[in-house]
Amino acid sequence: MTSGQELICQVDETDQLIGPCLRGDAHRLGLRHRAVHILVFNSAGELFLQKRSNAKDVNPGLWDTSAAGHVDFGESYGECAMRELAEELGILPAVALQPLFKLEASGDTGWEFVQVYRVVHDGAIRLEIGEIEAGRWIGLAELDQWIAQGGEGLTPSFQILWMRYSVLQRF
């Protein structure tokens, strides 16, 4: 299927399934839908960021979460997270992903309910050609400074997600 033609889950304001919709329609019409973001850390405590391809229709060329994607119709958040890790980074984790929190759908998230997961991975990473331009490990202090200085070059949704993650880690 071409980009925008995938069937994803349209949901209501409480994240209850309404039915399938086309990805392109969800974005064009501002329909609530589901997505996942996965934060991949290494054992040194660094976070892997991906640089989105310039061919992407949303946030081209910006740095983003380690892996992310829309929940396909008929798929759970957890199934989607495992699929996206495998497709985008070639990671097949031996342990379950740790669910962290869910962002509410709003204009700031592109009307996506975003379930965020965490995993630690020290093995090889294989970037998905055509989807990801580059990847890098970043220290958390450097990332916090980048965002504090305006976050230029980072996707807006990642900045929202990271601010929520940072607040939760202090408690």
Supply the DSSP symbol for 97.
-
pLDDT given for residue 149 in this prediction:
96
CB 7 within 8 A of CB 20: yes
pLDDT given for residue 94 in this prediction:
83
Phi, psi of 33, deg, nearest 5: -155, 180
Q: What is the dihedral of CA 137, 114, 109, 61, to 10 degrees?
A: 30
pLDDT given for residue 1 in this prediction:
44
**Token duo for residue 44:** 């040194």
C-alpha to C-alpha distance for 68 and 114, rounded to whole angstroms:
9
Helices assigned H by DSSP within the chain: 23-29, 77-84, 140-148, 156-169
Residues of the chain with pLDDT under 70: 1-4, 170-171
pLDDT given for residue 3 in this prediction:
59
SS3 133: strand
> Which pLDDT tens digit goes with each residue over 4-28?
688 999 999 999 999 999 999 999 9
pLDDT given for residue 93 in this prediction:
87
Please state which of the four CATH numbers 3.40.50.460, 1.10.1840.10, 3.90.79.10, 3.40.50.2300 is assigned to the domain occupying 7-169.
Answer: 3.90.79.10
- Sign (positive or negative) of CA dihedral 150, 155, 160, 166: negative
pTM of the full structure: 0.93
> What are the structural domain ranges in the chain?
7-169
SS3 35: strand
**Token duo for residue 168:** 């939760």
Supply the DSSP symbol for 71.
P
pLDDT given for residue 170 in this prediction:
59
**Token duo for residue 166:** 């940072």
> Which pLDDT tens digit goes with each residue over 150-159?
999 999 989 9
